[in-house]
Chain A
Amino acid sequence: MQTLSTDVLVIGGGATGTGCALDLAMRGIRCILVEKGDITHGTTGRYHGLLHSGGRYVTKDPQSATECAHENAILRRIMPHCIEQTSGFFVITPWDDESYGDVFVTNCHRTGVPVQEISVAEMLRREPALNPRISRVFEVHDGSADSFLATHSVALAAREYGAEIRTYHNVVELVRVGDRVVGAIVEDLRSGERIRIDCTYVLNAAGAWAGKIAAMAGVTVTVVPGKGTMVAMNHRMVNTVVNRCKLPSDGDIIVPIHTVAVIGTTDVHVPDPDVFGIEPEEIQFMLDEGEKLIPGFRQYRALRAWAGVRPLYKDKDVASDRDIPRTFKLLDHEERDGVSGILSIVGGKWTTYRLMAEQTVNELARRLGNTQPCRTASEVLPVPRFEHRAHAMVTVSPDPAAQTPHYWLGKPLALVESEHAAGDLICECELVTRDRIIAAIDAGAHNLDDIRRDVRMGMGPCQGGWCIYRTANLLYERRCADGLSHTHANEAMLHFLQERWKGLTPVLWGDQLRQARLDELIYAGVLGIHRLRALAEPGGGLVTQHPAIATEYVQA
């Protein structure tokens, strides 16, 4: 067995783990990060994309609110290419308690969350689709963030500073000598090979899976996997994040992000972060709640539904899972459980990932005798290559309209029209060009789902009807010289079709049901892909079938 050695082994390639790896590397601490799937495979890649102002937590969780407000300003500075400055409204609808408005403002002031009341007329001028029966509106610094791109940018920076990031590496065992954790055995899911990684500290940043990792060290961490279901709608009916001004509950927020608007979320305790379903009632409930904010909400086309699992840490008895504080906690297992060599970072949310990393690495650095200060709040993150050109367009376009902070679909379209033949448009829904897909393949994407997370291929209304075929062929043509065979290309398509299907069934009605049938005509009818099943197998670096990463939604 190959043996590697490092100072810190970070487990988990979500926002937190990746952020920790960058912070460690910037301070000159050697680290290896292992993630069982792709970067953002877990909860980070499955949230609505809200950059919190802190407003949602001002009453129930004031510490989180303050942290969010602070981090919000930092993230806008260090990752401008990932954040759309949408602004955010907290609105009081006829279904909400009028008196909460004043409480909300007071608590915003108390927690340092910038807020300003605006008139309903002003709100309707800016967002005409909102319910005119809304009585009060408070504007906050919400934004929307591309968590895929952000985490890739952090990972890229971490690598530049010398961190080693290994995706599709699953921890199978933590190695304990007496009461000390001294390393881990990990399996490379692409090759099946096992590697031993010796380290001074293991950092458990596995989010909703942190309890499973901790158990390997023989300690108990109670993570309540809180499932949050979201629905992407095929329109940006608002360009501003809209929250109900009330205590957080289900279906009370709409986040415009890229080409869609996401309504979220539910909060349902699930026993296992790998096994959960999306109930039709959850979807119907959110559509009903959407109607209260935007009359006619149900008439928009729902594109897909998905669920992420919140890594809520439960350290004492709390009444309901939504009452568990959203703030994070660093657990020292030596002090807590008598097992040294391992720390767990649990709880928290995407907006505060950097702060979580800073505090965690402060503690690790102190123990390792490293005195370098944290610099993650001041260094601007690099832009991954597959985003270079799309991003350049945002800042260098001579067209003043292209300079608006809002994501504007016209930007990539203008790029396509000025520089590409339209035949280069591989995913027409999300305007993803051939060169961006090839850049993602060259950057190491292993399967079509990885490419989707990189460039949004397959996330539009057709849900991959055309681009799955095109992208799989590009993957094959690009990598067949490295040994990717036709059986792998066939498997890549079959796998991605099934991945998309999971998110589709809860929202299939109207045009989207018709679209699913058209996709069935394309793949089962015109292409006859099911006839190639005997000619499909995982391999060639594709990681499509492994129990460690197969999240199967339970059919409702």
Chain B
Amino acid sequence: MYDTIVIGAGLSGMLAAIGRAERGEKVLVLAKGHGATHWSTGCIDLLADVDDPLAGIAQLAIQRPHHPYALAGPAMIEQGIARVRTIGEAADYPFAGNLNRNLLLPTALGALRPTAFAPATMIAGDARQLRDGRPTLIAGFAELRDFFPPLIAANLRAQGIAAEAAQLALPPTQRQHDFSSVTLARLCEQPAFRANLGEQLAAHVRKGGYARIGLPAILGLRHATAVVRDLQNRAGALIFEIPTLPVSVAGMRLYQILEDELLRLGGRIQLGGFVQRAEHIGDTLVAVFSEAAAREQRHTARHWVLATGGILGGGVRATPEGYLYETALALPLQTPDGRAGWFAPRFLDEHGHPVFQSGVRVDQRLRPLDAAGRLVYENVQVVGGALAGYDPIREGCLEGAAIATGWAAGQA
């Protein structure tokens, strides 16, 4: 019997688990697999398209009282982020940024993306610095099919940044195939590979006088800060990473430091356990059953946190007939009325698609409610993407809302 079982190993679940473990609880994270963290940028987005995220959130909380930020409250946002930053510092993977001012970091297309906090390995790419007129080099490998310097540089130039592009030669390796971002990240932790890379970068700097070099976010998996530091010394220029397509190395690092912290605090993680049904007595959740290795396993706990994500994370699924359901506990969902209202005609519609705001409605303590507003389980809290009424991707609050609600559930 655990004190708390967290279902889901994404950002919100890990924060809830860390919070509870820190208070001395016996905690298990039970998940089907890794969460959406592995697909995201590795940055902490609080709120896009505002200058001051914290002020934007305060306004949002007034306008939309059911938004996860409104439910978590400003204290939980600040404390949750502070906790992630402390974990990062201790792991030599610090995050830089500000609650009151968004950074603007280049994407792998050369767009400038607002985010509140970024790992130190990315911070030199902030557009305010890039616009100082000194030349920036965007460099990659032809073998990496998820990063193309010429278009990034061209789009940056169109936005007033003096950027140029170059392809680097892949340093000699044993491997013939599959230079994925993860493979390259592991190679970057080998001194010989890094030395070769450093020489090439230094040659470019000597020739082009670059003040900064943007590289794909593949600079190490467990020791990224050290890798970047070493490459900067060798190249004689500032280096910044640019997040690549999933699988995202920077996202994996963020997950990894949280996992290390949870294990350090005595928590447990069980992946490969797909929670598919629950057992309850009245409004108390008693046990869940997970499918794993062709058998069902029963898990019991006093308190539960549902952190399975929304449609992206797999916590909410749709049937061909147009019915949406919550996969783990069969909680009631708040969804658009009818399939006809699920999608906007344009894929990149600025308001997003209503179906992706489907999720669980909760009370002020994040406990699940049914359509009539009655409490479903008194000992369950719902966090992150599984919550209804917001679009974490289009609002640019994916990590912020996950951290705020996850941290709130870790404290209650």
Q: Measuring CB to CB, which residues of chain A are less than 8 angstroms from any residue of chain B?
A: 280, 283-284, 287, 298, 302, 417, 421-426, 434, 466, 469-470, 472-474, 476-477, 480, 485-487, 489-490, 494, 497-498, 500-501, 505, 508-510, 513-514, 517-518, 520-532, 535, 555-556
Contacts and interface: CB of A to CB of B under 8 A. Distances in A.
Q: Of residues A466, A501, A531, which shows the largest number of chain B Cβ atoms within 10 Å of its Cβ?
A: A531
A527 B113 CA distance: 8
B168 to A, nearest CB: 14
A421 B113 CA distance: 32
Q: Of residues B318, B342, B398, which shows the largest number of chain A Cβ atoms within 10 Å of its Cβ?
A: B318
A532 B111 contact: yes
B193 interface: no
Interface in B349-376: 350, 352-353, 355-356
Given A514-B312, A517-B310, A522-B39, 6 more contacts: A422-B179, A423-B179, A424-B145, A476-B154, A517-B393, A522-B245
Nearest to A434: B145
Nearest to A555: B345
B25 interface: no
A383 B117 CA distance: 53
Contacts of B158: 486-487, 535
18 contacts: A280-B322, A298-B320, A422-B179, A466-B245, A469-B245, A473-B150, A480-B150, A501-B346, A508-B355, A509-B319, A513-B311, A518-B39, A520-B352, A521-B312, A525-B398, A526-B107, A531-B111, A532-B110
Q: Of residues A425, A473, A494, A556, which shows the largest number of chain B Cβ atoms within 10 Å of its Cβ?
A: A473
Given A485-B154, A528-B112, A531-B112, A508 B318 contact: yes
Nearest to A422: B178
B144 interface: yes
Q: Of residues A500, A522, A526, which shows the largest number of chain B Cβ atoms within 10 Å of its Cβ?
A: A526
A209 to B, nearest CB: 24
A554 to B, nearest CB: 9
A466 B146 CA distance: 8
B101 interface: no
Interface string B307-331: 0001110100111111000000000
B265 interface: no
B40 interface: yes
Q: Of residues B248, B314, B393, which shows the largest number of chain A Cβ atoms within 10 Å of its Cβ?
A: B393
B143 A421 contact: yes
Contact of A509 (B110, B113, B145, B320): B320
A528 B111 contact: yes
A423 B143 contact: yes
A500 B347 CA distance: 9
Contacts of B243: 526
Interface residues of B, number: 58
A517 B339 contact: no
A147 to B, nearest CB: 26
Contacts of B245: 466, 469, 522, 526-527
A476 B150 contact: yes
Contacts of B111: 527-529, 531-532
B334 interface: no
Contact of B348 (A302, A422, A470, A523): A523
A556 B340 contact: yes
A174 B322 CA distance: 48
Contacts of A422: 177-179
A434 B146 CA distance: 13
A518 B248 CA distance: 13
A505 B144 CA distance: 31
Contacts of A514: 311-312, 314, 317
Contacts of B317: 509-510, 513-514
B124 interface: no
Given A520-B393, A532-B109, A526 B145 contact: no
Given A421-B179, A480-B150, A490-B155, A524 B109 contact: no
The 5 closest A-B pairs by CB, nearest first: A473-B148, A486-B154, A528-B111, A501-B347, A422-B178
A424 B145 CA distance: 7
A540 B176 CA distance: 37
A486 B317 CA distance: 38
B348 A529 contact: yes
Given A486-B158, A521-B393, A470 B146 contact: yes
B73 interface: no
Q: Of residues A287, A474, A532, which shows the largest number of chain B Cβ atoms within 10 Å of its Cβ?
A: A532
A472 B152 CA distance: 12
B350 A530 contact: yes
